[in-house]
Homo-oligomer: A and B are copies of this chain.
Amino acid sequence: MPATPHVEKHFAASASVRDVVIGMADGLTVPFALAAGLSAAVSSTSIVITAGLAEIAAGAIAMGLGGYLAARTDTEHYASERAREEWEIDNKREFEIAEVRDVFVGYGLQGDALATVVGAVTADRARWTDFMMRFELGLEEPDSKRALTSAATIAASYLIGGLIPLAPYFFAGSIAQALPISVGATGVALAAFGAIKGLFTGISPIKSAAQTLLVGGLAAGAAFWLAHLFG
């Protein structure tokens, strides 16, 4: 079906930008909060760096590989539901015809018009199955070719996001020097990321930047407070 311009814009953005947003939102937040939290409890930058790198590796693998396997499960789930619909069309034909009818009754069709439409949709087995998948189950066919690219994009975005708060600890001589640079750099990155995300998702960049800063700030604040308590 032809898409109106705003739709095309919406969908062109969603595939790859969405993966970057998913990875970077957590990548900027969690390693930042961990580094800030540990800064309240330990005296050596090397422990912050070690913990930060371990967290970034773990988070990137959990999000990337976890996301890849989830996408594969979705593809398998779609295939098995589709096979089930095909079986039902072949073996419980009247029941499936009634389901098509119910969809159109919901849109106000009745009488001859209803019968004609139901007849047209159920005339072709492949098209009928397509119809059931989308209108009855609400399932879109997953794009299985994108799963690997998507997983790699999410993992790389997490990695890049996570290295921003951690970088100052590599170069500063002490935690007292590194923490304010890390907070400042990550604050700027979170606000910029939130604003750009707002442009893509269609909400106000200022509001989106404020939300991203809020999540990062609360996460870092809670981590700092907990680490201070137990450290």
Contacts and interface: CB of A to CB of B under 8 A. Distances in A.
Interface in A25-58: 25-26, 29-30, 32-34, 37-38, 41-42, 46-47, 49-51, 53-55, 57-58
A50 B61 contact: no
Interface string A208-225: 100100110011101110
A134 to B, nearest CB: 8
Interface in A176-231: 201-203, 208, 211, 214-215, 218-220, 222-224, 226-227, 230-231
A124 B108 contact: yes
B109 A117 contact: yes
A91 interface: no
Given A113-B116, A113-B120, A223-B55, A30 B62 contact: yes
Interface of A: 1-4, 6-7, 10, 25-26, 29-30, 32-34, 37-38, 41-42, 46-47, 49-51, 53-55, 57-59, 61-63, 65-66, 69, 73, 76-77, 80, 84, 88, 95, 99, 102-104, 106-110, 112-113, 116-117, 119-121, 123-124, 127, 130-131, 135-138, 140, 201-203, 208, 211, 214-215, 218-220, 222-224, 226-227, 230-231
